[in-house]
Amino acid sequence: MGAGERTYLDYNATAPVRPEAADALARAMSLLGNPSSIHAEGRKARAAIEAAREQVAQLVGAAAKNVIFTSGGTEANNAVLSPHFRRADAPGPSHLVVSAIEHVSVLDGHRFAADAVRRIPVDCDGLIDRGRLSDELAVSAPPPFLASVQVANNETGVVQPIAEIARAVRAAGGLLHADAVQAAGRMPLDISALGVDVLTLSAHKLGGPKGVGAIVFACDRYELRERLVRGGGQERGFRAGTENVSGIVGFGAAAESAARELAGEMRRLRWLRDACQSEVVRLAPQAVVFGAAAERLPNTLAFAVPGVPAETALIFLDLEGVAVSSGSACSSGKVRRSHVLDAMGVAPALVQGAIRLSLGWASAPGDVVRFAAAFEKLLRSLYQWRADAA
């Protein structure tokens, strides 16, 4: 590895900005007008936003008018997961049903009372317990309820059977929100085919700029009676405040690029992911790969080696020029015990050693080689230390 050269394997935390997005963002920075102004400068800024809205909508098979831009995935989740989200002319949900492995912006970011939230367990592969879900839905209607199940897990990459879950929720008279932040740009997404009422997205996970996300409704028959951000009538009145024009334009460009390259990228990333997994198992046959028996995102590998603490591994690999993580990045830079792996019934000792590799648009075979070399050096160092200590 050359001086200063690094291997980045943490795309699920954030992806490098795609060149197309960087170029679009830079051009949008020169747009002068406020997009709410009626003069020519304002109309030009508005046109740039609406073009990006169409690009994001096409990524998930939605109508552009049903895309609402936010400051990111967390705000999008917080806004939707509320008793005030409803179908037009229908009562709002009285309680929330969530899987036990949701992102913290869902588990802790909703606006329901604590006693109005019901968590559904998952099995050892990280898939929602559909029997328990059916039991919960059977007693959840009436009154109306809101369910939230992520499309793909940010730590393990395990993909949920969202279309099947959507049918069950709809049959019980509920609404379904799907956090698609990790799935967008990494697997096919069509909001109609999935059957969900609303999706939430984040630009920086798929190679757009940080600080912009989106709420995507299945149709225009939804309301948010109580907004998180109040003020003007921007974003069809759903989200006040002057829009982040350059961020939105960058989001649109990243979404278009991701959609255009999706089929080929899925094959390429799966090959790279499987190559990383093969190296892990070759070097540490005792390694445990989380969610290996389930469908996973093609870019994500989560594993643990018994006796190798995650904190030690992350620091060592970082010093060797390889950036990985131990799970979600939303933990103030700390290595914390994973609620996802706990919910999957993983032994505490293995949970403490969880490492996540995630790849993306700029990943290459050389990254696999450099990771394997650094990982082997880590294992040799730990085993030598233990031999010396003995």
Q: 3-class secondary structure for 243-303?
A: CCHHHHHHHHHHHHHHHHHHHHHHHHHHHHHHHHHHHHHHHCCCCEECCCCCCECCCEEEE
How far separated are the first and last CA of the chain, in Å rounded? 33
Domain edge (last residue) among 226, 256, 286: 256
In angstroms, the Cα distances linking 180 to 49, 191, 231 are: 21, 10, 28
Q: DSSP label at 143?
A: S
Maximal CA-CA distance, the chain? 77
Spell out the per-residue pLDDT of the chain, length 390, in tens. Answer: 444 689 999 999 999 999 999 999 999 999 999 999 999 999 999 999 999 999 999 999 999 999 999 999 999 999 999 999 999 888 999 999 999 999 999 999 999 999 999 999 999 999 999 999 999 888 865 668 999 999 999 999 999 999 999 999 999 999 999 999 999 999 999 999 999 999 999 999 999 999 999 999 999 999 988 888 888 889 988 999 999 999 999 999 999 999 999 999 999 999 999 999 999 999 999 999 999 999 999 999 999 999 999 999 999 999 999 999 986 555 445 556 899 999 999 999 999 999 999 999 999 999 999 999 999 999 999 877 555 554
Tell whether 80 is covered by a domain. yes
Tokens encoding 39? 């003069």
**361 and 278, same structural domain?**
yes
Domain identity same for 206 and 355: no
Which is nearest to 322 in space by CA: 5, 47, 3, 2? 5
Q: Is residue 2 part of a domain?
A: no
**Chain position carrying tokens 């096409």:** 58
Same domain flag for 179 and 303: no
Instruction: With respect to residue 333, please indicate whether it lies within any of the assigned structural domains.
Output: yes
Domain that holds residue 282: 7-16+262-389
How do residues 68-115 score in pLDDT, each as one tens digit?
999 999 999 999 999 999 998 889 999 999 999 999 999 999 999 999
Nearest alpha carbon to residue 371 among 272, 296, 240, 290: 272
Domain CATH for 230: 3.40.640.10
Q: What's the structural domain count of the chain?
A: 2
247 with 342, same domain: the answer is: no
Of the three residues 256, 289, 304, the one that is the final residue of a domain is 256
For residues 32 and 12, membership in a common domain is answered with no
CATH of the domain at 301: 3.90.1150.10
Residue 1 lies in a domain: no
Return the active site residues.
330
What residues contact 260, with CB distance under 8 A and at least 6 apart?
none
Identify whether residues 109 and 228 lie together within a single domain.
yes
Do 152 and 271 share a domain, yes or no? no
Return the number of other C-beta atoms located less than 10 Å from residue 42's C-beta: 16
Same domain, 309 and 347: yes
252 and 270 assigned to the same domain: no
Question: Which pLDDT score, from 0 to 100, does residue 327 have?
Answer: 66
The amino acid at 129: D
Pick from 229, 256, 283: which residue ends a domain? 256
Strands 7-8, 322-323: pairing is parallel
Claim to verify: residue 135 and residue 232 sit in the same structural domain: yes
* 12 shares its domain with 26: no
Nearest to 26 by CA among 253, 235, 205: 253
Are 116 and 194 in a shared domain?
yes
152-178 pLDDT, tens digit each: 999 999 999 999 999 999 999 999 999
